[in-house]
Amino acid sequence: MHAFLVLLKTTNAKARLAFAYLAIPLLLGAAPLSYGASAKIGIVVFDGVLTSDVTAPLEVFGAATKKAWFSNYEVVLISASHDKTVTTEEGLSLIANTSIYDAPQLDVLLVASAYDMQPWLENEELIQFIAKQAKNSQWLASNCSGAFLLAEAGLLDGKRATTWAGGEKSLAAAYPAIKVQYDQNVVVDGGVITSNGGPVSYQSAFALLARLSSDKYAREIAELLQFNRLKSAFIQ
């Protein structure tokens, strides 16, 4: 800490700016990105995925990437199969940017959900992809029953987590090592964010954006998307 302060006092203006950029995340306990480095947010999708689980974070992070303070981030859709065309539960066609077989390197991994998760929980390649990405990702997130995918990969053991409202008992029964939280929209624990999904996927996205940037910037995007017009608070 003392070394940081000395360097900030003695170096030139450009060096101080670069050093501060690196120092702040360290002081907060997070691994910083390299100065000016690009970062990638990947959202895993598959046939039958619930539309709002995907479109909510896409809208929030997509809007943020147009801002100078978040322009180094890129948001990509990752198909859980070789076919990059995905049809959501509600009939929306999505074309993924890449697939789990292309081995994209991610800084943030978010997994969505479907009403029938069993085929995906039994997909060993998908589970291995999630587990591998978790080793290098700064943040993991899930909406709705996507928490079961994180759990199957062993990433929620010992952590507080939630899933869809009413599905908490199922998560606890299937994965007893998880500290399942009931009646909570969004749960944040040790670099992992889980949520109820549906409209709450927006609240979860804002919570993640705040941790990737700041509360101030997350509120800026919330206001841009007019979530400040809603009576319920969407940032926590």
219 has a pLDDT exceeding 70: yes
Name the residue with tokens 């090592």: 177
Q: Where are the domains of the chain?
A: 1-36, 38-229
Select the more confidently predicted residue: 11 or 152. 152
In this prediction, residue 231 has a pLDDT band, given cuts at 50, 70 and 90, of low
**Containing H/E element for 42?**
strand 39-45
The third-level CATH classification (topology) of the domain covering 38-229 is Rossmann fold (3.40.50)
98 vs 79: CA distance, rounded Å: 6
225 has a pLDDT exceeding 70: yes
Pick left, alpha or beta for residue 23 (phi over 0 → left; psi -120 to 50 → alpha; otherwise beta): alpha
30 has a pLDDT exceeding 80: no
Are residues 151 and 165 in contact, defined by beta-carbon separation less than 8 angstroms? no
Are residues 44 and 10 in contact, defined by beta-carbon separation less than 8 angstroms? no
Are residues 234 and 198 in contact, defined by beta-carbon separation less than 8 angstroms? no
Integer CA distances (angstroms), 3 to 7, 23, 76, 186, in order: 6, 11, 38, 37
Nearest to 61 by CA among 51, 49, 72: 72
The pLDDT, as a whole number, for residue 101 is: 96
140 has a pLDDT exceeding 80: yes
